[in-house]
Amino acid sequence: MSNIPNDLKYSKDHEWISVKDDVATIGITDYAQDALGDVVYIELPSEGDNFSAHDAFGSVESVKAVSEIFTPVAGEIVESNEDLNDTPEVVNDDPYGDAWLVKIRMDNSGEADALLSAEEYAEFLESEEE
């Protein structure tokens, strides 16, 4: 079973999001890293880039596949996790911790409220598997 921490919000594109004040930290879920397999390359946006909700802001590539990453919320990138350029495998080892991808200053800080709870994301995964 996938690990789905209770204190995070989730998107149907398999991103997780954690909000503090008006800054959201975004990563990919345990389910997503497992589906991708060994991650070998990550492409992240630059500080100051602006995105609308559901825009692709980067990509995560495993040996066998590439997956675009979408931001569930609109805003401006305030930090990208550049450490992952040298250690992409951390995405497999610690998707909810050291492998956060970007921090984004939200245009609308309430936007994350509408995303899935851990319980809803677990249900969504089950429905996907059927």
Question: Is 79 a residue that touches other proteins (CB under 8 A)?
Answer: no
Q: Which 101-130 residues touch other proteins, going by CB under 8 A?
A: none
CA–CA dist 20, 105 (Å, integer): 10
Q: Which 10-29 residues touch other proteins, going by CB under 8 A?
A: none
Task: Pick the closer one to other proteins by CB: 8 or 91.
Answer: 91
SS3 assignment, position 42: strand
Q: How many residues line the site for other proteins (CB under 8 A)?
A: 13
DSSP letter, residue 115: S
Q: Tokens standing for 99?
A: 């492998």
CA–CA dist 94, 114 (Å, integer): 25
Ordered alpha helix ranges (H), 1-117: 30-36, 90-93
Q: Which 53-72 residues touch other proteins, going by CB under 8 A?
A: 59, 61-64, 66
Residues near other proteins (CB under 8 A) are 37-38, 40-41, 43, 59, 61-64, 66, 85, 92
